[in-house]
Structure 1
């Protein structure tokens, strides 16, 4: 007879959290007495998600000593059946955000932007100059570089 290493109530807490959020993060510390978000041992969380990963129910990413688990569509179906939940219940990551009715800032036309914010004062000392005629710096007008060819630095081609 096979022994279950994770108690059923702890496995249920892990599965419920994963289903509710759609994602789960666990620090790679097998001796941590308690997981940060779930009231169970961190080792139980890692091993339960490792089991789900081996069956293709979660995708695992590991970065900077943390495991990042993401529920797959197959895992969604499996957990819904395992937890006896109706099809209407979905994880938080699958709920679409409600957008406000105001258009994004970049989408407003020029007249609408001016009407809302008023005229803008001219910039002084910005990186874009309005006068391009009196540019200082740069090469003088008579500068004409010429390239004589050659091999490497400092030596020209051998004379024949």
Structure 2
């Protein structure tokens, strides 16, 4: 049941939307035991005519939101001359130099000084069962 339309049973809603789907006025998705319906453009016109709405009434999903225009003068990355400042790369380079100072990369390379061991596989080919 819909929280606002408690007098209309779900079965009537499903049958009505099946009718709209058969006339190609709606599309249906059934995912995880839940129906999802969307009206096509022809379906919007059909429902608008049935409910006697004026053509100015459109679904809120079709209304495009206007994006707020950003004022670039308040941006910290823009100088007064209009050129974009570069990020401070000095801090990054210092971090990388400090991290590499204590690591011996050449000593950690290779198979090491230990002796290699090859053990048998598990399951049918195991000799140690």
With the shorter chain as reference, the TM-score category is 0.5 to 0.7
What corresponds to 2:20 in structure 1? 52
1:84 and 2:84 aligned:
no
Contact map agreement 1:57 1:74 (CA 8 A) in 2: yes
How do 1:43-122 and structure 2 match up within 5 A? Answer: 43-102=11-70, 110-111=77-78
Aligned pair count? Answer: 99
Structure 1, unaligned stretches of length 5 or more?
1-33, 113-119, 146-152, 155-160
| C-alpha contact (below 8 Å) 1:35/1:45 kept by paired residues | no
Tell which has more relative contact order, 1 or 2 (C-alpha 8 A, sep 6+). 1
Residues 103 and 74 (structure 1 numbering): CA distance in 2 closer, same or farther, change over 3 Å?
farther
TM-score by length of 1: 0.48
Structure 2 residue runs of 5 or longer lacking an equivalent are 80-87, 112-117, 120-129
**What is residue 136 of structure 1 aligned with on the other side?**
103
In the aligned structure 1, how far is the partner of 2:44 from the partner of 2:64?
Answer: 17
Separation in structure 1 between the aligned mates of residue 50 and residue 35 of structure 2, nearest angstrom: 23
Larger Rg: 1 or 2?
2
Aligned residues: CA RMSD: 3.6
Alpha-carbon separation, structure 2, partners of 1:47 and 1:58 = 12
TM-score calculated relative to the size of structure 2 = 0.58
